[in-house]
Amino acid sequence: MHQYTNTHILITGASGQVGSEIRELSRAYPGFQFTFTDVGELDLTKEQAIRDYFAAHAFDYCINCAAYTAVDRAESEPDAARLVNVDAVRWLAEACARQGIPLIHYSTDYVYHNQQNTPFREEDPTTPQSVYARTKLAGEQAAREAHPQTLILRTSWVYSSFGHNFVKTMLRLGREREELKVVFDQVGTPTYARGLARATLEIIRKVETGEVGGDKLQGVYHYSDEGVCSWYDFALAIFELAGIECKVTPIETKDFPTAAARPPYSVLNKGKIKAVFGVETGHWRAGLREMLARLNG
C-alpha cells in the first residue's frame, strides 16, 4: 500500500451542501490538495470557460458537486435545469477525458419512479417523471458517453448544516408554527451530506493507496444512509431530536400538490458500493443527530 501525496482534486459547485462538507473534511486528508471552485471561479454553464480552466490547471480527480436542484422550479425552467444538469456535466466530462482524469458526479434517487417497493439496485430500470429527474439522468448518460471513467453516485434526500434543505426548513417552520402537515406516502432515506462527502474522499483515498483498482472508478453506484422513512417520519425525528414542540399531521401527496412529481418509494440498495469500495454507511437518525449537533455547536 503506497502513500499518496499531493493528489490534486478539483471540486466544482463547492458552495453547495456536499462541496461545503468536502471543504470541512479536507483537513483530514493532508495527502490531498484541493481546489474549490464555484461559479465565480469556474462557470460550468460556459463550455469555453471549462476548456480554458482545464487548459490552465492540472488535476488528478474532479468531483462535480454542482447541480440544479430546485425540483419544483425546474418544471417551469427546463432549459436552466438542462444547462446545469446535462450540458455542463457533458462539458466537464469532456474536459476530464482530455486531461485523462476520473470524474465523480452525483445523481439522484428520483430517477427511479415506479411501483417497485424493494430497494433499487443500480441495474434497475430508470423511469424519471420530473424535469429535475430527467435532466439528472440525461446528465449521467452524457458524462458516461463523453468519458468512460465517470463514477456516478446516486444518492437520496440530502441535507446538511450548509445550504437549503428539508431539515433546516422544518427547524424554521417548527419554531414558527404549532402544527405542520407533511406527506407520509413518499418513502426514502435521508442522507447526511457529510457522510456522502466522506465516502467520496475515502473512495479516492483507497484508489490512491492501491486498496481498490482505478478501473472501478466508473459506472453507477448508490450511496445513502441506512434505514427507511417517510417525510412525515423524518419531520417527527427532526423535532424530537431538536426538542421542538410542533404537532405533525400526516397527509397524502394528493393533498399537497407540487409542480414536480416525486417517487412514492426510492430507497437505494447500497450492496455494490460496500462490496467494491468497502464504504461504510450509518443509520439516518445518527446522521441527523450529528448534523443537529453541528448546527448547535
Instruction: Let me know the angle formed at the C-alpha of 288 by 203 and 269, rounded to the nearest 5 degrees.
Output: 50
The DSSP string of 252-286 is: -GGGS--SS---SB--B--HHHHHHH-----BHHH
Q: Count of CB atoms within 10 A of residue 246's CB? A: 19
Phi/psi-derived region of residue 157, left when phi > 0, alpha when psi is between -120 and 50, beta in every other case: left
DSSP-derived secondary structure letter, 15: T
Residue 156 Cα to chain centre, angstroms: 7
Candidate list 29, 53, 112, 132, residue with the active-site label:
132
Residue 117 and residue 255: Cα distance in Å, rounded?
A: 22
Q: Count of CB atoms within 10 A of residue 287's CB? A: 25
53 catalytic residue (yes or no): no
- Which residues have CB under 8 Å from 109's CB, separation 6+? 120, 154, 155, 156, 157, 188, 224, 263, 266, 267, 268
Residues marked active site are found at 132
